[in-house]
């Protein structure tokens, strides 16, 4: 089961079009269950999550905590994604702060 585990520190009012851009599993090579956990150090970050043509979340607020997401409790977003579809996690900082987001994407073949 592939896992992408990363962090991102935002500049004030920064927008990121896809946190997974350039990752090996940005485009799924096989059908899979995608589970996403997002934790951020301050509440000013909003995220959009899109898998293929499915909008999973729009302007969602990640969990506010300073640790990496804990499985399964912090994995609040999931979808079955077809081979070749793209996983997009767009994020934007909405205040003049510099929060850090820790995020994990788990992919299980189905």
Please give the tally of structural domains in the chain: 1
Q: State how far the Cα of 45 lies from the Cα of 32, in Å rounded to an integer.
A: 27
Of 31, 38, 30, which is closest to residue 56 (Cα–Cα)? 38
Other Cβ atoms within 10 Å of 7 Cβ, number? 14
Which residues of the chain, if any, have pLDDT below 50? none
Provide the CATH number for the domain around residue 9. 2.60.120
> What confidence tens digit (pLDDT) does each residue in 46-60 have?
999 999 999 999 999
pLDDT at 96 (0 to 100): 85
Domain interval for residue 18 = 3-109
Q: State how far the Cα of 81 lies from the Cα of 86, in Å rounded to an integer.
A: 8
């Amino acid at each position: 089961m592939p896992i992408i585990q990363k962090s991102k520190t935002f500049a004030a009012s920064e927008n990121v079009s896809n946190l997974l851009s350039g990752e090996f599993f940005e485009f799924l090579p096989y059908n899979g269950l995608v589970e996403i956990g997002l934790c951020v150090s301050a509440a000013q970050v909003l995220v959009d999550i899109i898998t293929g043509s499915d909008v999973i979340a729009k302007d969602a607020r990640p969990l506010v905590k300073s640790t990496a997401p804990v499985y399964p409790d912090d994995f609040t977003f999931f979808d079955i994604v077809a081979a070749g579809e793209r996983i997009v996690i767009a994020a934007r900082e909405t205040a003049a702060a510099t929060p850090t987001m820790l995020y994990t994407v788990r992919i299980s073949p189905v």
